[in-house]
Structure 1
Amino acid sequence: MPNWTVPPYQGKDYTALVNPLIGTGGHGHTYPGATAPFGLVQLSPDTRLTGWDGCSGYHYSDSLVYGFSHTHLSGTGVSDYGDVLLMPITGNVVYHNGADGKKGYRSRFSHHKEKAQAGYYETYLDDYDIKVALTATPRVGVHAYSFPEGKPAHVILDLVHRDQVLDASLEVVSNREVQGHRRSKAWATNQHVYFVMQFSQPFNKHELWVDNQAKPHKKAQSKSIKASFSFDEDIAKQPLLVKVGISAVSIEGARKNLAAEAPDWNFDKVRQKVQTAWNHELARIAVKGRTPKEHAIFYTAMYHSFIAPNVFNDVDGRYRGRDAQVHQASHPYFTVFSLWDTYRAAHPLYTLVQQKRSNDFIKTFLLQYQQGNTLPVWELAGNETQCMIGYHAVPVIVDAYLKGIKDYDVTLALQAMQTSANQDKFGIGAYRKYGYIPASEEPESVSKTLEYAYDDWCIAMLAKQLNQPKVYKNFIQRAQAYKNIFDKNTGFMRAKRQNRWFAPFRPEEVNFNYTEANAWQYSLYVPQDISGLAQMLGGKAQLEQWLDDLFTASTETSGRHQADITGLIGQYAHGNEPSHHMAYLYNYVGKPWKTQQRVAQILRTLYHNQPHGLSGNEDCGQMSAWYVLSAMGFYPVTPGSNDYVIGSPVFPEATLQLENGQRFTIKAEQVSANNIYIQSAQLNGKAYAKNYIKHEDLMAGGELVLVMGNRPNKAWGSQPTAAPVSAITAHLIVPVPYFEGKLTFERADHQIKIAHHNPATKLFYAVNPNKNAAVTSLKFVPYQTPLTIQTSATVWAFAQNTQGQTSDTIHTRFSKIPAGRTISLANQYANQYAAGGDKALIDFVSGGKDFRTGMWQGYQKVNIEATIDLGKEENVKTMAIRCLQDQNSWIFMPTRVVFFTSPDGKKFTKAGVVENDVSPKSEGTIVKTFEVKFGEATRYIKVLAYNRGIVPAWHLGAGGGAWLFADEIMVEGN
């Protein structure tokens, strides 16, 4: 059984430059506790039990600590972990944590008596006069508690802390050892933690608190277990040490981990060892010059970049896989893959300075594919959470492979990529069928289309390397899907519904067409084909203007409140990942000095050496990796291309200590807060005019010298040949056309326009009243002027370019509805949930089972009060309104619906009332039709659906504005 070995280290103490408190305030969601590089244990204080800013368990604004648990997530936007909480106390034993304000075991603490370093944390419990010190090995947490003299001393173990417990057990093995397990449900719905806990001094009494009752037993199994361990008063003579080994496999595995990594009782030795391990990792990049503040930001960013992913197998190689079974691996197996975030900068950073681990990450991906049928999306503790979008294990693998990191089964990797890319969920089926994702088929359709297209380009790049021409052609064409959602009229990527643009359109609006963003923040996400994007915008000058407008636009957003949209410079949002490449795009249009100005601005204004030092969630290293790479002077705009785009370095000198034994140094002569512009460059002593550098140049070792100044040198890096190439040139697709015209109409002369972003493209169409007609049976004719339809019909269309290539064929059903029917709304719906506008509730279009597809009309806090004019008096058999509930999204059924009728639209008579019988606590999406029978003649119908107004007190969003959603008011005649 191997011990945890760390080679001796004689260099600079980089750990002294790390400030783990960066990001613990604001919305950074980091934690300050002790962890080893990429370690399974994250031993840290828990000061917050719930809420978005409590995702890591700690927030700098807090003044109360509940204890110290062994697992934490760094910078995520969803809560989990917080396993096996210990809390030292004095006085009487109490098992309640005190979260409700009643007496509990929690304690006040002060930042004045708090110390956080890489691998070490220290605080003081004011209520108990106890000093707490924490350190860790990869799989073991080590506590040191200094109790005061003359007071009863206890340690509380809380296995109920934070997550929903599915099962737990505890056994007192001796007066120095306790073992147990905890299986819990939160973000990871089936998380296993086994532990063995050993005390340096014997406890003289223990008590199990099971299901809120004291038990004198040595064993317990329940969903609710806490325990106390009491010590003699002479415990104050020396610190009490507690070692906790954890495992996802078994108690035996936890014991092996403990024995291998922390075999003795020397706290300082463990602390020194973990800090030596951190120095080895941090020494991979050596920077010189500038201020201590910049060094603290840089090395803390490196530290945060190397916290996750976390090793997940025991010292004997066993791990719990995606299939929940125990397996054996001959290499380190990892967990916590926040891939939507980290594929952009964190994993490219690893391909530079963590190549061996990058190999192991990919080997882990392939094992997860074999056990879970797809590559990981957001894997956590052996669970696939399916959080966020894309199949972004793909660019991680491809980027590594193209950079020479290949110690894995690449044939299996390509197979795994195609399997993940050919699923029929998350809109991928619609994406493959239509060449983009219609908004009516899947929420976040624009973002998913763009992210899938980039992932597909990566698959094409690997297929090309492996000489798989059919696979290459398929995926290089899929990589152009962005062309099908580009709107030439606005210059933005827009959602389509029934092949028509989502409207009304506001680029600053945050809605469910985008993922944690708006059109400003996603429309330039085409890293695989920046030349093609520029061409669609009208050329490089138009792309440059688009970028200028992005950074100078108003910072105001509309629509949904999205907490992740932070760090705004104009509409550029550095606090969230979709914007991270944008400042570097000026290099592609020959204006690298604009990249230098914006990158320097972001580095200077959005990273600070303080708890509020991050502009958004750390996201498992991505926010920090952006800083590490950009502060050195370059960034991977397109992982998978081997190009790093040059920006504006922070330090006069930064040296990469590469695993192949080479060194690469970036020197920035005369760099300062004002000297941010590159005047000239040399690579290995020769003049260098390119505004990017290749991965192979870095790995070969050498030196890049940049001479900096306070004014732009517009000649350097501005020639077309100086820019990196990001262009798809093979198997080009013809984008699909789109329709203009309402889906429903009353008059028998409804006009429909067919349009295309390229005016040189020819359009062809066919009309058929049969909505199920086969496309092969249709006769297509050239489109020249708007067509007119008299009755309900399906219109088909395709585009043809000047070379005779054709697009996919699209079709949309246009429906004639009863003439003269109108609707008036007393209250305004939210624009992002307009469902097509004022007539959405009488347009004969149903919304499906997901409110985010844009077919449901949403009202916050206000009632739906709609008056329908049938146009003439009609016999009405039934009246109904269809509503949706998704309480996790704050959407509830109306408390009641009242129907009224009127012959003249002035005097209304109550026609019926339907009370809601759906519990507001019901989980999942529920669609209910509220219907009354009538059986009389009327012309006007009023429907009043009562919004509950305020989110109930039991709900996570208690006190907020409740939503009411409807998709159709239905009137059926006799």
Structure 2
Amino acid sequence: MRNIFSLLFFVSTIFCFSQQSSSEKLISFVNPFIGTGGHGHTYPGASMPYGMMQLSPDTRLEGWDGCSGYHYSDQYIYGFSHTHLSGTGVSDYGDVLLMPTNAINFNNGDDRKKGYRAHFSHENETASPGYYSVLLDETNIEVKLTVSERSGMHHYSFPKNSKQIVILDLDHRDKVLSSEVKVLSNTEISGHRHSDAWAKDQRLFYNIQFSRPYKSITYLNAKTKGEKVIAAFEFDPSEGNELEIKIAISAVDEAGAKKNLEVEIGNKTFQQIKSEAETAWENQLEKIEIDTENKDQKTIFYTALYHTMLAPNLYQDMDGRYRGMDLKIHQSNDFTNYTVFSLWDTYRATHPLYTIIEQERTNHFINSLLAKHDEGGILPIWPLAANYTGCMIGYHAVPVIVDAYLKDIRGFNADSAFKAITHSAMQDKLGLKSYKEFGFIPVEEESESVSKTLEYAYDDWTIAQMAKAMGNMVEYQIYLERAQYYKNVFDPETKFMRGRFRNTWFAPFDPYEVNFNYTEANSWQYSFYVPQDISGLINLMGGKAEFEKQLDKLFTAKQETSGRQQADITGLIGQYAHGNEPSHHMAYLYNFVNKPAKTQEKVHRILNELYQNTPDGISGNEDCGQMSAWYIFSAMGFYPVTPASNQYIIGTPLFEKATINLEDGKIFKIEAQNISDKNKYIASATLNGNPLNRSFINHSEIVKGGNLVFKMTDKPSDWATKDKEIPKMEITENLIVPAPFIAKGDVAFKNETEISLGIAPSESEIFYSLDGSDFKIYMKPFIISEETELRTYASNGFEKQSEILSTHFYKIDPNLSITLETQYANQYNGGGKNALIDGIHGANDFRTGTWQGYHDLDLKATVNLGSKKKVKSVSLNFLRDQRSWIFFPTEVICLVSENGTDFTQLPIQKLNAAQLSEEVKTKTILFDVNKNVQFIKITAKNFGDLPKEHLGFGGKAWLFVDEIEVK
């Protein structure tokens, strides 16, 4: 009875609000064009909340800024397809394109004279939740689109007396594996489109019904099925100028698509479907009400809320059938299946937002993730259309599940969920084997080693919290220890997170450098990522004062980055990069060092500068709701710095009032008194009428309803600045001993090298062993003069010790030297100036640090043997990984000399470097010498401009080389 009462109360609340504001519905404050410019990668078309269909115009066929199919800077529409991704950094979807036109033409290329694309103007374009319209000004055809969850409607208005052609293009955008058009009648067709893009085997079926019969069909090359199927349907203009097309899609089969269409649309009119979509969106947006006179901010807020509800996407037919990760058909009567989980992004704020406003749907999301585990064998990292894409890092389905569980959202099998999350953590791939063995991921073992170590550690902390809540103290200890592995990549000298390369620090080190040690970031942008043990990180950095200084430096550092170009690093304030997710919690960290006013200042600046009511109003990829979820939380006044902690860190509110309407009928209100652009600081706060003298609130305080009131002022105050008033995130049990590192010494050396050992701040002692000898306490630096195996570990004297680490030291012939006339890229230095003669060979993965890389430069090197020697051969190795722009050289030239002045050229080795291949391969180039020489001069010609057929056309190639061997 209580549940029925709560539901009626909730419905009545919505009804009252709608009555009061009927003249200005919330959907009128959604601007779907926000994010369609710049690098936002959103689309403006019609979709339902979390719907399967996204019916939107396609203005761009390829390229990074065409990931959603649409970019605001474009002037031509190729057509209207039915699936799109919102804010992603990789392209897919764009299925089943329809385009009205006035001539039969099967080309959709960039040559306007040959193509069916049409010019349009933004002045004649409209978009709102569930609706899109545009005038194709070249053909004077008006297009209107609206949708239901799995189906949609097109309404075309043709000019009088013009030809009426509708193109169905199943070849649009990504690679087609199979497609077909089946004619069921002169008003109905069906078929399928299976494709290969980000999702390597996406299977989609469709059913299309025309409002009046077509009079003829013309097929490209008379093909009705295969890999390039395009059809032109011609309609009789004497039967009217209006044409409506109903379409539904399914991942199961054509019958499923037809059933979806019959149930969702049936005989409903275009206006009925549009009204239903608008009502659905209005109900969704009413979950959070805000009061503000600033219409731009209100539009930004509700557009952000809208964007958080475009994904995950429904992936199940009306009858409960869906295609699983095994690509087989499954039946679900207990949960609704979803796809498109951008988990590396959305675990941070989007899913925590759902735990407040989408509690019931969160259960369906988690059951979907668990089903994917059961069907495919593992929890997904980034699932798309029944495919594992493997994109991004970590196993962030884990915090999504744990966060919900700890917030008492438990409409799933907890035991099965715990088995699934620990299964993800115990894999041996993606660096996990090394992570489990050493307590960190070495640079030479796995790319993006620092970021993966840090994100695995956070994920493991969430596993520990669920284990503890379930009473599993053995697993709790295991994963709480793993949660501290971040300590093993912290360099106490620089106070940055750094890659450990053969147990030394990757060098030379530049915290601004974007390289293969980090994921879409540099060391600045990952060195504050320890959300599970912020107190531990503060201690590593030297205490609160030092931590605050380092945070200040982050926000005031120069904005440029060095190293690899990374388009995702945008929205820079100093080296804080709001356009990419690893930075999203950082402005809130000042609260942990008793300086909430600094958090308030930074959050206010980000809210006002990096979100705008313009097409380029999002500072980076929208990423399936994460950029928007940050705004929603922060504008209300708090943010989930550590998902699964049940704690939200207070920032500063943006609006006079915000009301969260919870699913059970309860209401949580946030009020900011005396707020203005200048009054961004909190002077005091109350919760339910009682003083709130702390800079955080708990999840339970929100979901049981209440009133949070802030009094604002124009100057920093002493509110929530005492130690007992600040948030704490700390690990105090099962503390680990960090693994020691080689602070000084060359792994490949001539003559001798002095070795110094170090450890992250702790009370532990370091022990070492040389060539299998007994371990002894490290007291001072020591010398190595021969090839040696060094083993190290640390112990705290209380039966706690780190893992034993081994490092092999190589001795380079002291007479051997190399001179480089061209400069390698620092992020691919291979170990430094002697990398090509150090005896260490590169593996197939260029990101493991052993290759030396040259960007748009030839390799020019001279090896000096020290004296004349009989040389039989000279060889050197090259890498090809064209997906990463690494090409073999076009030719390799070798010259030899006895005196360094008079050189003899050996036969030039030419390579077919222009041949495109996705195979990663190494190649050894061998020169026969058979004479006395002292000097060997090598030139390897860089491929240069990337070919037109390459995805990176317009860029320059990399040349990767390793180990010049003289025999």
Note whether the superposition's TM-score is higher than 0.5.
yes
Question: What is the match of residue 249 of structure 2?
Answer: 246
Question: What is the match of residue 278 of structure 1?
Answer: 281
Matching of residue 844 in structure 1 with residue 839 in structure 2: yes
Contact 1:750 1:788 in 2 (8 A): yes
Counterpart secondary structure, 2:232: strand
CA-CA distance at 1:914 after TM superposition: 1.7
After superposition, the C-alpha distances for 1:4-47 in whole angstroms (9 at most, x for unaligned) are: xx999741421111000000000000000000000000000000
The TM-score, its normalising length taken from structure 2, stands at: 0.97
Aligned ranges 1:681-700 → 2 under 5 Å: 681-700=685-704
CA-CA distance at 1:959 after TM superposition: 2.8
What is the CA–CA distance in structure 1 between the aligned matches of 2:267 and 2:296, rounded to whole Å?
A: 38
What is the CA–CA distance in structure 1 between the aligned matches of 2:290 and 2:238, rounded to whole Å?
A: 49
Question: What is the match of residue 190 of structure 1?
Answer: 201
Question: What is the match of residue 825 of structure 2?
Answer: 830
Matching of residue 376 in structure 1 with residue 376 in structure 2: no
CA-CA distance at 1:951 after TM superposition: 1.1
What is the CA–CA distance in structure 2 between the aligned matches of 1:757 and 1:16, rounded to whole Å?
A: 54
CA separation of 1:445 and 1:938: change in aligned 2, threshold 3 A: same
Question: What is the match of residue 593 of structure 2?
Answer: 589
Matching of residue 817 in structure 1 with residue 812 in structure 2: yes
Matching of residue 652 in structure 1 with residue 689 in structure 2: no
Contact 1:900 1:912 in 2 (8 A): no
Counterpart secondary structure, 1:912: coil
Question: What is the match of residue 732 of structure 1?
Answer: 735
Q: Equivalent of 2:558, from 554, 572, 588?
A: 554
CA-CA distance at 1:424 after TM superposition: 1.1
Question: What is the match of residue 24 of structure 1?
Answer: 36
Question: What is the match of residue 969 of structure 1?
Answer: 964
Contact 2:913 2:943 in 1 (8 A): no
Matching of residue 317 in structure 1 with residue 328 in structure 2: no
Matching of residue 915 in structure 1 with residue 933 in structure 2: no
Question: What is the match of residue 407 of structure 1?
Answer: 411
What is the CA–CA distance in structure 2 between the aligned matches of 1:860 and 1:102, rounded to whole Å?
A: 39
CA-CA distance at 1:214 after TM superposition: 3.5
What is the CA–CA distance in structure 1 between the aligned matches of 2:784 and 2:588, rounded to whole Å?
A: 49
CA separation of 1:425 and 1:520: change in aligned 2, threshold 3 A: same
Matching of residue 716 in structure 1 with residue 719 in structure 2: yes
After superposition, the C-alpha distances for 1:196-232 in whole angstroms (9 at most, x for unaligned) are: 00011111112222xxx146xxxx2211111111111
Q: Amino acid of the residue matched to residue 194 of structure 2?
A: R
Question: What is the match of residue 3 of structure 1?
Answer: none
What is the CA–CA distance in structure 2 between the aligned matches of 1:876 and 1:405, rounded to whole Å?
A: 72
CA-CA distance at 1:289 after TM superposition: 1.8
What is the CA–CA distance in structure 2 between the aligned matches of 1:42 and 1:959, rounded to whole Å?
A: 32
Question: What is the match of residue 895 of structure 1?
Answer: 890
Question: What is the match of residue 779 of structure 1?
Answer: 774
CA separation of 1:820 and 1:759: change in aligned 2, threshold 3 A: farther
CA-CA distance at 1:61 after TM superposition: 0.4
Aligned ranges 1:272-421 → 2 under 5 Å: 272-330=275-333, 331-421=335-425
Contact 1:760 1:802 in 2 (8 A): no
Q: Equivalent of 2:456, from 432, 435, 452?
A: 452
Counterpart secondary structure, 1:904: coil
CA-CA distance at 1:919 after TM superposition: 5.2
Question: What is the match of residue 49 of structure 1?
Answer: 61
Matching of residue 791 in structure 1 with residue 795 in structure 2: no
CA-CA distance at 1:234 after TM superposition: 2.9
Contact 1:147 1:235 in 2 (8 A): no
Matching of residue 952 in structure 1 with residue 947 in structure 2: yes
Question: What is the match of residue 482 of structure 1?
Answer: 486
Counterpart secondary structure, 1:520: coil
Contact 2:338 2:368 in 1 (8 A): yes
CA-CA distance at 1:168 after TM superposition: 0.7
Contact 2:891 2:940 in 1 (8 A): yes
Matching of residue 880 in structure 1 with residue 875 in structure 2: yes
Question: What is the match of residue 259 of structure 1?
Answer: 262
After superposition, the C-alpha distances for 1:461-509 in whole angstroms (9 at most, x for unaligned) are: 0011111111111111111110000001001000011100000000001
Question: What is the match of residue 180 of structure 2?
Answer: 169
Counterpart secondary structure, 1:173: strand
Contact 2:891 2:909 in 1 (8 A): yes
What is the CA–CA distance in structure 2 between the aligned matches of 1:806 and 1:22, rounded to whole Å?
A: 53
What is the CA–CA distance in structure 2 between the aligned matches of 1:654 and 1:759, rounded to whole Å?
A: 46
What is the CA–CA distance in structure 1 between the aligned matches of 2:148 and 2:11, rounded to whole Å?
A: 14
Question: What is the match of residue 88 of structure 2?
Answer: 76
Q: Amino acid of the residue matched to residue 370 of structure 2?
A: L
Matching of residue 39 in structure 1 with residue 51 in structure 2: yes
How many equivalent residue pairs? Answer: 948
What is the CA–CA distance in structure 2 between the aligned matches of 1:387 and 1:362, rounded to whole Å?
A: 19
What is the CA–CA distance in structure 2 between the aligned matches of 1:952 and 1:113, rounded to whole Å?
A: 38
Q: Equivalent of 1:136, from 119, 144, 147?
A: 147
What is the CA–CA distance in structure 1 between the aligned matches of 2:113 and 2:519, rounded to whole Å?
A: 41
CA-CA distance at 1:918 after TM superposition: 5.5
Q: Equivalent of 1:439, from 436, 443, 446?
A: 443
Structure 1 gap segments, 5+ residues each: 1-5
Q: Amino acid of the residue matched to residue 114 of structure 2?
A: K
Q: Amino acid of the residue matched to residue 958 of structure 2?
A: W
After superposition, the C-alpha distances for 1:647-698 in whole angstroms (9 at most, x for unaligned) are: 0111111011011221000101111111100000000001110100000000
Counterpart secondary structure, 2:524: helix
Contact 2:351 2:400 in 1 (8 A): yes
Counterpart secondary structure, 1:704: strand
Contact 2:437 2:803 in 1 (8 A): no
Matching of residue 939 in structure 1 with residue 928 in structure 2: no
Q: Amino acid of the residue matched to residue 453 of structure 1?
A: A
What is the CA–CA distance in structure 2 between the aligned matches of 1:685 and 1:16, rounded to whole Å?
A: 34
Matching of residue 669 in structure 1 with residue 673 in structure 2: yes
CA-CA distance at 1:877 after TM superposition: 1.5
After superposition, the C-alpha distances for 1:350-375 in whole angstroms (9 at most, x for unaligned) are: 00000011000000011000111110
Contact 1:892 1:920 in 2 (8 A): no
What is the CA–CA distance in structure 2 between the aligned matches of 1:800 and 1:247, rounded to whole Å?
A: 59
After superposition, the C-alpha distances for 1:335-364 in whole angstroms (9 at most, x for unaligned) are: 001000000000000000000110000000
What is the CA–CA distance in structure 2 between the aligned matches of 1:199 and 1:759, rounded to whole Å?
A: 73
Higher mean C-alpha displacement, 138-147 vs 916-925: 916-925
Contact 1:618 1:624 in 2 (8 A): yes
Contact 2:322 2:330 in 1 (8 A): yes
Q: Percent identity?
A: 51
Q: Equivalent of 1:924, from 919, 922, 938?
A: 919
CA-CA distance at 1:103 after TM superposition: 2.1
Contact 1:767 1:796 in 2 (8 A): yes
Higher mean C-alpha displacement, 445-454 vs 228-237: 228-237
After superposition, the C-alpha distances for 1:135-179 in whole angstroms (9 at most, x for unaligned) are: 000100211001110111111100000010000111111111010
Higher mean C-alpha displacement, 421-430 vs 31-40: 421-430
CA-CA distance at 1:761 after TM superposition: 3.1
Counterpart secondary structure, 1:521: coil
Matching of residue 205 in structure 1 with residue 242 in structure 2: no
CA-CA distance at 1:236 after TM superposition: 3.9
Contact 2:839 2:963 in 1 (8 A): yes
Question: What is the match of residue 766 of structure 1?
Answer: 769
Q: Equivalent of 2:533, from 526, 529, 535?
A: 529
Q: Amino acid of the residue matched to residue 144 of structure 1?
A: H
Contact 2:694 2:720 in 1 (8 A): yes
How large is the Cα RMSD of the aligned pairs?
Answer: 1.3
What is the CA–CA distance in structure 2 between the aligned matches of 1:490 and 1:804, rounded to whole Å?
A: 30
Matching of residue 598 in structure 1 with residue 602 in structure 2: yes
What is the CA–CA distance in structure 1 between the aligned matches of 2:113 and 2:845, rounded to whole Å?
A: 41
Q: Equivalent of 1:427, from 421, 428, 431?
A: 431
Counterpart secondary structure, 1:113: strand
What is the CA–CA distance in structure 1 between the aligned matches of 2:748 and 2:292, rounded to whole Å?
A: 67
Question: What is the match of residue 6 of structure 2?
Answer: none
Contact 1:486 1:494 in 2 (8 A): yes
CA-CA distance at 1:265 after TM superposition: 4.2
